Amino acid sequence: MGNVLIKIGTVIEVENEFSKGNSGGLRIRAKIDEDKRKENKNELIPWAFPLLPKSLQIVPKEGEAVLLVADEAGGFASGQRYYIGPLISQPQFNTFCPASNATTLLKFAERTPLPSMKWNSDTDGAFPDAKDIALIGRGSEDVILKYDDSSKTSEVDIRAGIRGDQTNESLMNGSTPIIGHNIIFNGADPAYIQLKYKKGIATGSKKYANSLVNIVADRINIMSNKDSTINHDIHEKNGLVKEVDSVMDRLHQVPKGDVLLEFLNIVKGAILHHVHPWASMEEAGDKPGYVNQLKDFDLQKILSEYVRIS
């Protein structure tokens, strides 16, 4: 093979699928050394086509680095270019990894990489473990496929808001993090869906299970497309659910089953023990105290403050 068919390029343009003259193919223009000698005329740099299948969309940003591949016939000068990227040296650069950082872990790096993000326990859980299969977003979102061979546990986690910026003063330059963005585990208010499977994962006569789903967020809304009171507000083209406050105002708070059962037992007792006085009756009224319990019961505590349904 006479030509070097793989090179690292810096992205200078990303094809906009809605822009005039572009084809919406997620192509990019990326400069390599040969291109820098073309009098900075970007239009002379050919488009590079993504090597990843279109069903997996990962598009680099301008200023990031990519691997460029050229077909052997024309090479980089006149052949078709393809790209894989963006190149990201360390997890703290998932939001944006400038080309100067992208190659710091490679053999020919011109400078050393920044310190590892795992500087203390605050980052534990922020990113998938190396043994897991994962799809990691640009910000604080990811999808993780986990399998623990020792316990035979399968798990799928869909997470959003799982990471945040560090606040440790020694790792800040004023208000700017020294080690990237979105690396600290958010243990306060993330949203996630956790699916787990393991034989006997939950035990007990009323909660035994081999599989379970945990849904966690500040507020949980369960809605139907067929609910005419909200269906026009849950199909925003780019945001899905719009006017969140307005939608939640039209949803219904879910009753807490055990508290509702407690209330119904009081009602049942009050009805079954209700008596009317008659001649020569020594006692009449609410001897077991159900009526007083019913009078003092706070009906609001039946409703969940955090879960709503349509």
In a domain, 93, yes or no: no
198, 218, 238 - which closes a domain: 218
**141 and 62 share a domain?**
no
What was the pLDDT predicted at 111? 74
**147 and 211 share a domain?**
yes
**192 and 226 share a domain?**
no
Measured CA to CA, the distance from residue 129 to residue 134 in angstroms comes to 9
In a domain, 125, yes or no: yes
Measured CA to CA, the distance from residue 200 to residue 182 in angstroms comes to 36
In a domain, 110, yes or no: no
In a domain, 105, yes or no: no
**224 and 235 share a domain?**
yes
DSSP string, 107-123: TT-SSPPPPPS-SSGGG
What was the pLDDT predicted at 178? 65
In a domain, 95, yes or no: no
pLDDT tens digits, one per residue of 256-288: 999 999 999 999 988 887 776 666 555 556 667
**223 and 201 share a domain?**
no
**248 and 210 share a domain?**
no
In a domain, 101, yes or no: no
In a domain, 108, yes or no: no
What was the pLDDT predicted at 182? 85
193, 218, 243 - which closes a domain: 218
**211 and 231 share a domain?**
no
In a domain, 40, yes or no: yes
- What domain range is 1 assigned to? 1-87
All residues at 6 or more sequence positions from 62 whose CB lies less than 8 Å from its CB, including other chains: 11, 12, 13, 14
**125 and 183 share a domain?**
yes
Among residues 116, 15, 128, the alpha carbon closest in space to that of 62 is found at 15
**4 and 78 share a domain?**
yes
Domain tally, the chain: 3
Q: Which two tokens stand for residue 279?
A: 């001649």
Q: What is the pTM of this model?
A: 0.85
**247 and 200 share a domain?**
no
Q: In what order do the strands lie in the sheet with 303-309?
A: 220-222, 303-309, 252-255
All residues at 6 or more sequence positions from 202 whose CB lies less than 8 Å from its CB, including other chains: 208, 209, 212
pLDDT along the chain (310 residues), means of 10: 75 77 82 72 82 91 95 80 93 90 84 69 88 95 96 97 79 66 90 97 91 97 93 89 91 95 91 70 65 89 95
